[in-house]
Structure 1
Amino acid sequence: MAKRTFSSVNEYCGLEEALNAVMLEEDDASIDLVTLPPEPSVLTDEEEGDEDNIQSNTVPRDIPGRIEVFMNRDEEEWDSSDDETLAETKRRRTNAQAPCWRKTEPTYDPFVSISNDDNVQERQNKLMDELKNQNPLQIFEKIFDDEVFTMILQYTQTYATQKNNHDFKVTIGELKTFFGILLLTGYHTLPRERLYWSLDEDCNIPVVSKSMSRNRFQEIKKYLHLCDNLIAVESMDKMYKVRPLADILMTKFLQWGVFHQDLSIDESMVKYFGRHPAKQFIRGKPVRFGYKNWMVTSSDGYCYAFDFYCGKSPGANPTEPLGTRVVKQLLDKLSTNPRDHVVYFDNFFTSFDLLRDLRQVGFRATGTVREGRTKKCPLVAVKEMKKKNRADFDYRFDKVNQILFVRWLDNSVCTMGSNYDNVLPLGKVKRWSAVEKKKVDVGIPHLFQNYNKGMGGVDQADQSISLYRTAIRGKKWWWVLFTYMLDLAVANAWRLHNLTNDTKLDQLQFRRYIARHYLRQTESEILRPTASIVPSLQHDGRGHFPQKLSQQLRCVICHNKARWQCKKCVKTLCIERGCFEKFHST
């Protein structure tokens, strides 16, 4: 028989109240105090904050919350035989898969170690055949297509009806213009939303004011919705407001399959300072406050799947670490042949058990690993390794589970695990030598070289999103997630364009192409004759009417003098010689 410890939990509104309650407890009680974040109004659509100050970056100085007090006491005696039986069963199960570490060259079964690159290349060839020579708008609308716009339109009108505005109607064309304004704010940023419609000479943007009025933009923004509240609330999903859009975008990202061999898994932060139970605070990160987003991308930054972190899942296995669950859930979303790909992740995710489990299903994987997750691998201790020369390394291979751990001394000691890679052949990297006063070649294990090439895709995706992030802010908690997914779709479409087209564009050119098309598709006023035309507008067959000029200009086709121009394309064209028809049909 033994004594068992029981815990009681009490909740208080403030620190003073909690301390007063603690002072009244017995001396033999073990007491822990935990601060909780405030309970936000997650299920409301009421807006909060100042939308005009869209460049504000103020970090709150205090996070209000409640206090939980845990009191642990030793209670009556209990029979521990059941727990001893469970512990013995767990011990036997663990010993059955105990690793057998040897300092020997790795030997893997061909089931995992032999790659199958033909399937990946076949998918990439199919993608290039489908998207070859398509313009940026056509590629973007492969992801943000009419199905996505129709879904947003239906949910928006449903929400307006629920808010008792039965007269509100919106079309897909208006939604595209609305999205065009959002995309424009990513590279043409003004400090306040209303200034985009200002007539003052220092901030006037005619293309915005001519495409949509300010009141109409704000009305669409007010009722814009990505789900049906009456249905979504019942799911108890903290991200129910954006879940339909997230699911359909992942379907669009994966419509050509996974056409990269190397995959990278990491976290991404979406900056947010409001109140929501899924908001995270991570000390020491560039983005400390916001939503955490798990992503699986290619090595060059194309996002295949993502998942917003909402805290502990009710049905999660309590013995399985969070990093292991995240990797398995993201790879399940891909629905691909594991043998086609190599997965890379950092030390937050990597463990001996994860590498073993991925090997059993066929995924090749490599990742940096923390010292306590090596399953007692007898590598040279970190303190001893620091005393050795740069580029020294030590390794051990588990013959039972076929897992390799390598510890290498660079600027600091780094440990890496793999279920398919090797130590040899050693590569060469440049490092500064304090003795020779110059950069010299030092050896690097083979799996470290592959890791450096394959890891970092999520960081590249983050960089692409941050370059021209949508500047229009909203007052609802899900607005930052909505604009984040919009920017992510643009970044993915840009990578598809550069992969499948001979003419490369930088991301600014790509984004401007889409924004200008959406903003000028409904424009009725004549622009300056020197304005350039978006190529996709030339052949859309809508709104191309001849407009007489006050003076003669050169036709862009035959170069003869003419007095006519296309009202939409703003190009001088002859009507008598058929140049007007030829320009819009070829």
Structure 2
Amino acid sequence: MDDDFQPITTTSFYGRKIFSTLQEAADAIESHEDEADVIVLPPEPDVLTDQEEFDDDNIMESHIPNDVPGYIEVNFGNTDEWSDSDDEPLSIFVSKRPRAEERNPVWEKIEPVYVFSRDTENGANDRLEKVKESLRGYNPVQIFEKLFDDNVFQLMIEQSIIYSRQKNNHDFFATMEEMKIFIGILLLSGYHKLPQQRMYWSLDEDLGVKIVSGSISRNRFLEIKRYLHFADNDKINKNDKMFKLRPLMDILNKNFRQWGFFHKSLSVDEAMVKYFGHHSAKQFIRGKPVRFGFKDWMLCSSTGYCYAFDTYCGKNSEKKGQSLGLGADVVISLLEHLDNPADHIVYFDNFFTTLRLMNQLTAKGIRATGTIRENRQKNCNIQSSKMMDKEERGTYDYRFNCENNLLIVKWKDNSVCSMASNHDFIEPLNYVKRWSRAKKEITTVQQPLVFQNYNAGMGGVDLNDQATNTYRISIRGKKWWWCLFTHMVNVTMTNSWKLHQICASPEEKISLLDFTRYVARYYLRLNNKTRKTNRPCQVPGAVRYDNVGHFPEKIEKQLRCSVCHLRIRWRCKKCIVTLCVERECFEKYHT
């Protein structure tokens, strides 16, 4: 064989050899007793070319190319020799210390025994009585202003003036009365919807709203809306995506809790605020009634009164130092103002529930119950959902962890549902009615007590969201925070109505619509004067040009002609428009 095609053989400490042909490699493997690993290496880059290295007309057997494109590396299992090279890091020779195994909780099928007493204390009921006593006899406006108080209106005035100066308008000022009228118009738009906001000041009898046009001019309303602000743009907090609304959110959250927590059952859930613009905090949730918008975390009572809320701005904006997960951190954050945990029970769904959260709430002395996903039931030997789904409806299984005082219950209804609680029990069993497809009749199904209590205590956020969106403000704005601001106004109105339902006697209780109308009309009447206008009456063309029944009529007071603008005492009897008779204005107007 030619010298250029001699096999290359290289040997190292670990029995590595390199060959250029398969035959050489096979002979070496057969002559070696140890096992071998074969690796085909690519050719060297400096000899790799697209041009043939020999003459096509003079092909000799010795010049036949190799049967592999590069080289063949054979590694034999010779580990008797050890390399003394200093290039190897010492860390690879040190055996890693095994990680200490986490202590798995022990789950047993026993009756739960908690550190909490079975019944909560009466502190919530005592605070509820104080709320009734303090608000007894209050009308809807007075209750609304207990939550949307003068501090809110003053914030709107001060920050709006600052923003107008930043926009080089040094003539803008606003009063408390004008801001209340502004809020009144927004509330009115919730139950009196028109396609465009300017139509509230229209002179057409089928569009205009006299109480609106009589309270404030259209241009003044638009000017207030243009400069409305709640935070100083010169003091931007780059770490807070909601800095534009943070002062307003803080005031409202404080006002909502000014009497403390006066309900026993509390629930944590999310609410969506519809928004289709561009913002980094906008969320998309598939399958929800509101798919696009901002997500609000809310803490509400079982009746729908909101105690705390916050807008979700992304994982990066959450508080540092908490490692319980997004849902658990939200629950801990909303409950940080809960001053008497023994008086309340908190409910939440499987988005929030984890075993670590339940342990944390137990350590804080907070009773909690929540549905839990099966992949979060760590090492719990309870019957799997797949197996329980084969059982008949009403079947349940449970396990209790004595160390962490935690109960997990699975119950099959239409589907299998899991519940975790640090205070609730299974018995006495409740019985609910369900439709049986097999028997074609209504049957009775047993239900553990923890599920009955969860259904009674959960759902407060949904009740609040339902009432808030019933008469949602319809006037729209171009700023990204406008939908959140109007949502806060609606939530405040819902909370005010909930307070009125608590404090009013049965004869004085009114619906949410009547409550909203009461507040809106009160604000719009603060400056309700008959406004004079020089604009001509807008007569529909079908009436103006029908040539039927248009006769001049003399009036006592001189008014300006709608065509030549001279002062006259004549008008069209049908159109009610001032027109000259001598100067042919009457004819020009109707033709």
Amino acid at match of 1:294: W
| 1:254 matched residue in structure 2 | 257
Q: 1:387 to 1:473 in 2, by over 3 A?
A: same
Aligned positions of 1:65-80 closer than 5 A: none
Which one of the candidate residues 87, 91, 101 is aligned to 2:107?
101
Which one of the candidate residues 180, 183, 204 is aligned to 1:176?
180
Is structure 2 residue 519 aligned with structure 1 residue 510? Answer: no
Amino acid at match of 2:369: T
Spell out, residue by residue over 1:239-269, the C-alpha distance to the aligned partner (whole angstroms, 9 max, x if none): 0000000000011000000000100000111
Q: 1:249 to 1:83 in 2, by over 3 A?
A: farther
Spell out, residue by residue over 1:506-560, the C-alpha distance to the aligned partner (whole angstroms, 9 max, x if none): 100000000000001111239xxxxxxxxxxxxxxxxxxxxxxxxxxxxxxxxxx
- 1:335, distance to aligned residue in structure 2 (A): 3.6
Bigger shift: 312-321 or 476-485?
A: 312-321
- 1:124, distance to aligned residue in structure 2 (A): 0.7
Amino acid at match of 1:325: D
Which one of the candidate residues 196, 200, 208 is aligned to 2:204?
200
Matched residues, percent identical? 52
- 1:436, distance to aligned residue in structure 2 (A): 3.6
Amino acid at match of 2:514: Q
Q: Distance in 2 between matches of 1:422 and 1:170?
A: 58
- 1:286, distance to aligned residue in structure 2 (A): 1.1
Partner of 2:411, secondary structure, is: strand
Q: Distance in 2 between matches of 1:204 and 1:196?
A: 5
| 1:221 matched residue in structure 2 | 225
Partner of 1:88, secondary structure, is: coil
Aligned positions of 1:567-586 closer than 5 A: none
Q: Distance in 2 between matches of 1:80 and 1:212?
A: 80
| 2:138 matched residue in structure 1 | 134
Q: Distance in 2 between matches of 1:488 and 1:363?
A: 26
Spell out, residue by residue over 1:469-500, the C-alpha distance to the aligned partner (whole angstroms, 9 max, x if none): 00000000000010000000000000000001
Q: Distance in 2 between matches of 1:441 and 1:278?
A: 46
| 2:562 matched residue in structure 1 | none
Q: Distance in 2 between matches of 1:254 and 1:469?
A: 23
Asked whether the equivalents of residues 115 and 339 of structure 1 are also in contact (C-alpha less than 8 Å), the reply is no
Is structure 2 residue 99 aligned with structure 1 residue 88? Answer: yes
Q: Distance in 1 between matches of 2:237 and 2:353?
A: 35
Q: Distance in 2 between matches of 1:84 and 1:182?
A: 67
Spell out, residue by residue over 1:69-94, the C-alpha distance to the aligned partner (whole angstroms, 9 max, x if none): xxxxxxx9995899966x825x3xx3
Asked whether the equivalents of residues 427 and 446 of structure 1 are also in contact (C-alpha less than 8 Å), the reply is yes
Is structure 2 residue 479 aligned with structure 1 residue 476? Answer: yes
RMSD: 1.9
Q: Distance in 1 between matches of 2:162 and 2:441?
A: 67
Question: If you compute each CA radius of gyration, which structure gives the higher value, 1 or 2?
Answer: 2
Asked whether the equivalents of residues 427 and 443 of structure 1 are also in contact (C-alpha less than 8 Å), the reply is yes
Can you give the 5+ residue segments of structure 2 that lack an aligned partner in the other structure?
1-87, 532-591
- 1:317, distance to aligned residue in structure 2 (A): 4.4
Q: Distance in 2 between matches of 1:234 and 1:471?
A: 30
Spell out, residue by residue over 1:420-462, the C-alpha distance to the aligned partner (whole angstroms, 9 max, x if none): 1011110011101234422222110000000000000000011
| 1:270 matched residue in structure 2 | 273
Is structure 2 residue 408 aligned with structure 1 residue 405? Answer: yes
Q: Distance in 2 between matches of 1:422 and 1:335?
A: 24
Partner of 1:167, secondary structure, is: coil
Q: Distance in 1 between matches of 2:279 and 2:188?
A: 28
Q: TM-score, normalised by structure 1?
A: 0.73
- 1:338, distance to aligned residue in structure 2 (A): 1.1
Amino acid at match of 2:187: L
- 1:277, distance to aligned residue in structure 2 (A): 0.7
Is structure 2 residue 399 aligned with structure 1 residue 388? Answer: no
Q: Distance in 1 between matches of 2:520 and 2:138?
A: 17
Q: Distance in 2 between matches of 1:329 and 1:493?
A: 24
| 2:326 matched residue in structure 1 | 322
Q: Distance in 1 between matches of 2:224 and 2:179?
A: 8
Is structure 2 residue 306 aligned with structure 1 residue 297? Answer: no
Spell out, residue by residue over 1:186-216, the C-alpha distance to the aligned partner (whole angstroms, 9 max, x if none): 0000011111111112212111111111100
- 1:352, distance to aligned residue in structure 2 (A): 1.1
| 1:521 matched residue in structure 2 | 526
Amino acid at match of 1:467: T
Asked whether the equivalents of residues 324 and 357 of structure 2 are also in contact (C-alpha less than 8 Å), the reply is no
Q: Distance in 1 between matches of 2:210 and 2:243?
A: 37
Which one of the candidate residues 144, 149, 165 is aligned to 2:148?
144
Which one of the candidate residues 461, 464, 469 is aligned to 1:466?
469
- 1:284, distance to aligned residue in structure 2 (A): 1.4
Q: 1:207 to 1:426 in 2, by over 3 A?
A: same
Amino acid at match of 2:522: H
| 2:534 matched residue in structure 1 | none
Q: 1:114 to 1:523 in 2, by over 3 A?
A: same
Is structure 2 residue 162 aligned with structure 1 residue 158? Answer: yes
Question: How many equivalent pairs are there?
Answer: 441
| 2:455 matched residue in structure 1 | 452
Which one of the candidate residues 282, 292, 299 is aligned to 1:279?
282
Amino acid at match of 2:111: E
Asked whether the equivalents of residues 277 and 480 of structure 2 are also in contact (C-alpha less than 8 Å), the reply is yes
Asked whether the equivalents of residues 112 and 425 of structure 2 are also in contact (C-alpha less than 8 Å), the reply is yes
| 2:379 matched residue in structure 1 | 376
Is structure 2 residue 245 aligned with structure 1 residue 234? Answer: no
Partner of 2:445, secondary structure, is: strand
Q: Distance in 1 between matches of 2:479 and 2:518?
A: 29
Partner of 1:415, secondary structure, is: strand
Amino acid at match of 1:414: C
Q: 1:222 to 1:357 in 2, by over 3 A?
A: same
Q: TM-score, normalised by structure 2?
A: 0.72
Partner of 1:101, secondary structure, is: coil
Q: 1:209 to 1:84 in 2, by over 3 A?
A: farther
- 1:173, distance to aligned residue in structure 2 (A): 0.1
- 1:320, distance to aligned residue in structure 2 (A): 2.4
Amino acid at match of 2:99: E
Q: Distance in 2 between matches of 1:464 and 1:82?
A: 66
Q: Distance in 2 between matches of 1:221 and 1:82?
A: 70
- 1:464, distance to aligned residue in structure 2 (A): 0.7
| 2:247 matched residue in structure 1 | 244
Q: Distance in 1 between matches of 2:171 and 2:94?
A: 67
Q: 1:515 to 1:78 in 2, by over 3 A?
A: farther
Asked whether the equivalents of residues 197 and 204 of structure 1 are also in contact (C-alpha less than 8 Å), the reply is yes
Q: Distance in 2 between matches of 1:135 and 1:188?
A: 22
Q: Distance in 2 between matches of 1:518 and 1:434?
A: 56
Which one of the candidate residues 476, 486, 489 is aligned to 2:489?
486
Q: Distance in 2 between matches of 1:363 and 1:203?
A: 54
